[in-house]
Amino acid sequence: MLKSIRMEDLKKLTDEQVVDYVRTKDQESYLEIVLRYQDKLMRYANSLTRDEQKSADIVQNSFIKAFVNLNSFNTKMKFSSWIYRIVHNEAMNEFVKHKNEIPMLEDMDFASSEDVAADFDKKETQERVRKCLSEIPLLYSEPLSLFFLEEKSYEEISDILRLPIGTVGTRINRAKILMKKICQTIQN
């Protein structure tokens, strides 16, 4: 009974407060963090690996790493950026291990145009993003999925991918252009 009441109280706390509680009082309250992030991280990992089972492994390993290193997390920072970063790293490690099985980062570059990008309405784009994302090189699809599907801000994406905010903006704009080209080709 006491446990369930406490779990209810935990739900009202912010991520950072829960982390602080886990570190100082009760490690089993980590369950709250796992429940809060399981679906989000699965979706994110899936957008990277496009493999449900591998994504589950990545997310599970990320939760374990996050728990082991929880004392290194600065509660003044955003927990969500921190845990997304761990998933990103785990996915990249997985790519290195299975180079031939999983789509690798491809560095495609082309001219950017802000005007084309402006055509995209966020809600409309979400659905198209899901359909076309798998066709775009990971270099561009990752920031795009974080922006549209995970609804992260440029600053959060910058923290997750450890890229300057300007680079995040450039990649998202290029991803939109690339996606438009690819999606049009698919539709035709």
Partner 1 sequence: MPNNTKLNIPENIMSWIKKGQVKMKPKWYFVLGSLAMIGGFLGLTIVSIFLVSLITFSLRTHGPMGAIRYEQLLSSFPWWAPIIAIVGLGFGIWMLKKYDFSYKKNFLLIIIGFISAVLLAGLLINYLGIDNVWMKRGPMREFYRQYDGEGMKRGAGWRMMQDDDYNNKDLPLIRRQ
Nearer to partner 1, 38 or 183 (CB): 38
Nearer to partner 1, 71 or 100 (CB): 71
If you ran DSSP here, which 8-state letter would residue 75 be given?
T
Q: CA torsion, points 21, 39, 117, 183, in degrees to nearest 10?
A: 170
Please give the single-letter amino acid code of residue 25: K
Shortest distance, position 92 Cβ to partner 1, whole Å: 15
The full length of the chain comes to 188
Helix axes 30-49, 52-68, angle to 10 degrees: 140
Contact call for residues 96 and 102 (beta carbons, < 8 A): no
Nearer to partner 1, 118 or 165 (CB): 165
Nearer to partner 1, 117 or 163 (CB): 163
Give the residue from 154, 127, 130 showing the smallest Cα distance to 141. 130
Give the residue from 115, 90, 103 showing the smallest Cα distance to 140. 103
Shortest distance, position 94 Cβ to partner 1, whole Å: 15
Contacts with partner 1 by CB under 8 A lie at 23, 27-28, 30-31, 34-35, 38-39, 42, 52-53, 56, 59-60, 63-64, 67-72, 158, 162-165
Shortest distance, position 75 Cβ to partner 1, whole Å: 12
Shortest distance, position 100 Cβ to partner 1, whole Å: 23
Q: CA torsion, points 177, 180, 184, 185, in degrees to nearest 10?
A: 50
Nearer to partner 1, 5 or 68 (CB): 68
Shortest distance, position 164 Cβ to partner 1, whole Å: 6
Please list, in sequence order, all residues whose beta carbon lies within 8 angstroms of the beta carbon of residue 47, skipping any fewer than 6 positions away.
133, 141, 142, 145, 149
Shortest distance, position 121 Cβ to partner 1, whole Å: 30
Nearer to partner 1, 4 or 72 (CB): 72
